[in-house]
């Protein structure tokens, strides 16, 4: 099974020393070491986190942001990288239209809707998303409950 990371989870991996992040960061490293699942970093998730870190490095000049960028690059060598392609973007557009047609906004009308693009990538690769944003994503894709997995002592 493929575990596809959303931005919230990838952000926790890039800041593993923060008390709120240590548990999921350690769990993901254990999953990668055990080879139980394929861990996937989708291009849209990388973009969402990296854009914020670039902004912080350029305009706030924070050392932590530079360290976090290095951690994203390191993590990308351990996980599988899932690039965007035309079919995924077409599927994302269809998901967006379906959600709008049923009265379920997923983002502002003028916003790049990262959640539906992520959902399309998850559907395209047949994975489950590991997320801190269950509400927005569970209507589109299966959610992997990493906390339950951890409570059960599984890796």
118 has a pLDDT exceeding 70: yes
**How many helical (H) and strand (E) elements, i.e. helices and strands, does the chain have?**
8, 4
d(CA 31, CA 78): 11
For residue 10, give the CATH number of its domain: 3.40.50.1010
CA distances from 58 to 13, 62, 66, 74 (A): 22, 8, 10, 21
Triad 129, 133, 138: Cα angle to 5°: 60
Report, as an integer, the average pLDDT of 124-152.
91
Task: Report the candidate in 3, 21, 27, 6 with the shortest Cα–Cα distance to residue 152.
Answer: 27
Mean per-residue pLDDT of the chain: 91
Q: Provide the number of structural domains found in the chain.
A: 1
Confidence (pLDDT) at 111: 65
154 has a pLDDT exceeding 80: no
Q: What is the pTM of this model?
A: 0.90
The secondary element (H helix, E strand) that includes residue 147 is helix 146-151
pLDDT band at 104 (very low <50, low <70, confident <90, very high): confident
Contact 21, 6 (CB under 8 A): no
Structural domain including 61 reads 2-151
State pLDDT tens for residues 54-80: 999 999 878 888 999 999 999 988 999
End-to-end CA distance of the chain: 13
């Amino acid at each position: 099974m493929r575990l596809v990371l959303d931005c919230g989870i990838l952000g926790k991996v890039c800041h593993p020393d923060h008390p709120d992040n240590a548990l999921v960061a350690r769990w993901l490293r254990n999953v990668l070491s055990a080879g139980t699942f394929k861990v996937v970093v989708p291009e849209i998730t990388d973009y969402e986190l990296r854009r914020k870190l670039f902004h912080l490095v350029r305009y706030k000049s924070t050392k932590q942001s530079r360290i976090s960028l290095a951690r994203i690059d390191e993590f990308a060598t351990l996980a599988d990288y899932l690039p965007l392609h035309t079919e995924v973007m077409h599927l994302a557009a269809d998901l967006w239209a379906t959600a709008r047609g049923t009265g379920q906004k997923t983002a502002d009308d003028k916003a790049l809707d990262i959640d539906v693009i992520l959902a399309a990538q998850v559907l395209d690769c047949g994975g489950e998303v590991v997320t801190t944003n269950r509400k927005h994503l569970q209507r589109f894709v299966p959610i992997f409950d990493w906390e339950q997995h951890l409570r059960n002592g599984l890796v």
